[in-house]
Amino acid sequence: MNYIGLSTLVALGLVLLTGVAGLMSFGQQAFVGVGAYTSAVLAVHYGASPWIGLAAGLALTGLIAVGLGVITVRLSGHYLPLSTIAWGISVYFLFGNLEMLNKHDGVGGLPPVAIAGWKLDTGRESYVLIWLVVLAALLAARNLLDSRSGRAVRALRFRATMAESFGIDTARLKLVIFLYAALLAGLSGWLYAHFTRYVSPGAFTVNMGIEYLFMAVVGGASQVWGAVIGASLLTLLKEWLKDILPTFFESSGNYEVIVFGLLMLPLLHRARDGLMPVLARLGRAGRRAPARVVTADPLPRRAGPAAGTPLLALAGVQKNFGGLAAVRALSFDMRAGEILGLIGPNGAGKSTAFNLVTGVLPSDAGEIRFCGGRIDALPARRIARLGIARTFQHVNLVGAMSVLENVAIGAHLRGAKGSVRAMLRLDRDEERRLLHEAAKQVERVGLTAHLNDASASLPLGQQRLVEIARALAADPVLLLLDEPAAGLRFQEKQALAALLRRLRSEGMSILLVEHDMDFVMGLVERLVVMDFGEKIAEGLPRDIQANAVVIEAYLGGIEEDAP
């Protein structure tokens, strides 16, 4: 049971790092080794208390994790796992070749941990400490995921662009999760060192890194309690295989790793998300989660500019993709309290223009000003802080999260409590206020009945409404809507138009991209028309409807009959 607890700590870090944040690591065993060896050296060579070894081990683990994380978390694709494999191999050979670590013979004679004179020098006594630490770590991880920071972490894996657009510093957040996973591994190493009283490089091979990742994946790579299931199953299976495989193959070796790999294939075929989600579904069979009603004091509102004052101005904005000019010398402006339509045929550059305004893409030339200040050189998260929120042309929700949780991401910048406070449950008042705001915006778009439904379970039209609610939760000065009426039925479009008019009456400015001309013409005050990346017309809806250039862009012109 002690080894299960030690493995659970490492697997829990991988659940957060790999399963939730989407950063795969094969090198966690190296952090286990750093925590173990640091305390071992201090205790054996310098007579230091194990508690001093714990502080030093975590400090060194943290420093290494930050230094390594600054480099590795920016990598994508196969480069990240390859870099963690390289890190793990390097540390293994470092442990095995340093004289002060007694090379491959290891360091023995470590003292047991003592608490107020009580020495934990037996397996049963160590069991209490190990599992108290594991329980605390599990509760802290659960608290983290059930918080403002946790929603941001869950958005990292598939929706990083969306997360940045709502003010989340994704690079910093990835580093925080990488650090936390490393610290859990280092803590496991410290416990291991003083439980076994002996440390050697053989406990920190690349095979161990693979096994830890197997534990997280088998248990449920996005489930906190899946770390316990995965660690328990694979640790017990490993001990059993160690007894029977050498007899079967008539030689010793790490055959259990091969078996683990073979077992993973059918398991992940039948349960791609691991065992924990399957068990959870069985437990919820036939039951529907009750609606999560949240009551709290309202969040403070943002002070917006006076109606009619200059709000957004684009001057000569250009964006090229290779030799293609997606946006060419685009210029227009809008005033506070206005609904401005941005229309044009497919491929005209409208969504690219949105991405330029919100910082998702950098412009190649020109200026973009918001409330008088230039924003064309700012990243998306800083532009979001200024009061610009958006929806996306293609729905950009975290499908496994509930409608309420997705909308609460929009209110991220309206909170301030960080990860540590979330783990300690010191963010509850702010969390209630954020969820209350999210629930209010869900009600505004008419989806209260789906508050706790997974967003992926909703039809496309309702998912677009969830995106609008998420943008409203940010309390924006300027709301950018990219084809919000797509997929909506006639009555839903009428309700959406009424909502947008109400928002305008409350002082919100709206920049709207839409292909439904009936919806647009009855809603906007002015229109900007684009074609092939250029602005071809600007004016009142009735003038645009009669504009020959616009008609030709949409209809391709009218050929006259030959005489």
Q: Is the pLDDT of residue 322 over 60?
A: yes
Segments forming the whole domain that contains residue 153: 2-205
Using CA atoms, how far apart are residues 496 and 523, in angstroms rounded to an integer? 10
Single-letter residue type at 313:
A
Residue that terminates a domain, selected from 205, 222, 245: 205
Which has more confidence, 200 or 284? 200
The answer to whether position 530 is within a domain reads yes
Residue that terminates a domain, selected from 136, 170, 205: 205
The answer to whether position 166 is within a domain reads yes
Q: What is the mean pLDDT of residues 246-269?
A: 70
If we measure between CA atoms, which residue out of 167, 91, 135 comes closest to residue 409? Answer: 167
Tens-digit pLDDT profile for residues 109-143? 899 888 877 877 776 778 888 999 999 999 999 99
Q: Which of 11-15, 97-101, 179-183, 439-443 has the lowest mean pLDDT?
A: 97-101
Using CA atoms, how far apart are residues 228 and 215, in angstroms rounded to an integer? 8
If we measure between CA atoms, which residue out of 404, 392, 481 comes closest to residue 437? Answer: 404
The answer to whether position 20 is within a domain reads yes
Domain match, 523 and 405 both? yes
Tens-digit pLDDT profile for residues 20-42? 988 889 999 999 999 999 999 99
Tens-digit pLDDT profile for residues 286-310? 445 555 556 788 888 888 899 999 9
The answer to whether position 296 is within a domain reads no
Strand-pair category, 388-390 with 198-199 = unpaired
As given in the structure block, the two tokens for residue 79 are 């480069």
pLDDT range class, residue 250, cuts 50, 70, 90: low
Domain match, 548 and 401 both? yes
C-alpha count within 13 angstroms, C-beta hemisphere, residue 85: 8
If we measure between CA atoms, which residue out of 223, 179, 143 comes closest to residue 427? Answer: 143
Tens-digit pLDDT profile for residues 401-415? 999 999 999 999 999
If we measure between CA atoms, which residue out of 198, 176, 237, 179 comes closest to residue 7? Answer: 237
**What are the DSSP calls for 95-144, one per residue?**
HHH-GGGTGGG-EE-PPPPEETTEE--SHHHHHHHHHHHHHHHHHHHHHH
Domain match, 166 and 20 both? yes
pTM of the model: 0.88
Which residues touch 484 (CB under 8 Å, ≥6 apart)?
A: 391, 464, 467, 468, 496, 512, 514
The answer to whether position 562 is within a domain reads no
Query: What local confidence, expressed as pLDDT, does residue 255 receive?
Result: 67
- Give me the number of domains the chain comprises: 2
As given in the structure block, the two tokens for residue 476 are 């924006």
**C-alpha 372 chain-centroid distance:** 32
Tens-digit pLDDT profile for residues 543-560? 998 899 988 887 664 444
Domain match, 196 and 327 both? no
Using CA atoms, how far apart are residues 490 and 561, in angstroms rounded to an integer? 39
The answer to whether position 254 is within a domain reads no
Q: Identify whether the C-beta of residue 315 lies closer than 8 Å to the C-beta of residue 331.
A: yes
Average model confidence (pLDDT) across the chain: 89
Query: What local confidence, expressed as pLDDT, does residue 264 receive?
Result: 72
Single-letter residue type at 70:
V
Q: Identify whether the C-beta of residue 430 lies closer than 8 Å to the C-beta of residue 417.
A: yes
CATH number where 468 lies: 3.40.50.300
Query: What local confidence, expressed as pLDDT, does residue 286 receive?
Result: 47
What whole-number percentage of the chain has pLDDT above 70? Answer: 93
As given in the structure block, the two tokens for residue 544 are 């645009």
Domain match, 41 and 186 both? yes
Tens-digit pLDDT profile for residues 515-525? 888 899 989 99
Using CA atoms, how far apart are residues 238 and 208, in angstroms rounded to an integer? 12
115 has which bridge partners? 118
Residue that terminates a domain, selected from 168, 185, 205: 205
